[in-house]
Amino acid sequence: MPEVRRAVCPGSYDPPTVGHLDVITRAAALFAEVYVAILVNPRKEGLFAVEERVEMLTGITADLPGVRVESFRGLVVDYCRERGAQAMVKGLRGATDYDYELPMAHMNRHLSGVETLFLPGAPDQVYVSSSLVKEVARGGGDVTAFLPPSVHARLRERLA
């Protein structure tokens, strides 16, 4: 039995939504330490720089004990090993997420033994995604309900 139960919540978080925050909060209730890990993806430029995402996530998780925010490059299993994490935690909003996530969970376990734990997305947030929020916001729609207030302020600034 490992001394510290440590988990990783990996993702793009461009930007972090209330759905992300819900999963991180629930992971923090299950594990002594949670690393929120933002993928640095050289093939995909985000709306927000990775450093900005680190800042946003650090701000919105500041009151959650045991949560740290970092970026990572390469394979998530290598990051998990470096941090001594036994599991990664991800939210599942529905069947599309499941179909996308299941092969990655198998592959990651094959590569490293790291388990993937899925938390069902909060029922009132299953239609929330970073990409949809950006699309609606770009079109002038109201996305207040889907983002923590500090993230919403940054998005408005970015799209102004």
* Residues forming the site for ligand PNS (CB under 6 A): 10-12, 39, 75-76, 104, 107-108
Q: Are the beta carbons of 113 and 84 closer than 8 angstroms?
A: no
> Catalytic annotation on 110?
no
Q: How far is the CB of 5 from ligand PNS (least distance, A)?
A: 20
> Catalytic annotation on 130?
yes
Give the residue carrying structure tokens 């959650």. 64
> Catalytic annotation on 152?
no
**Catalytic-role residue among 130, 134, 152, 154:** 130
Q: Looking at beta carbons only, is 54 or 75 nearer to ligand PNS?
A: 75
Q: Looking at beta carbons only, is 11 or 148 nearer to ligand PNS?
A: 11
Q: Looking at beta carbons only, is 28 or 80 nearer to ligand PNS?
A: 80
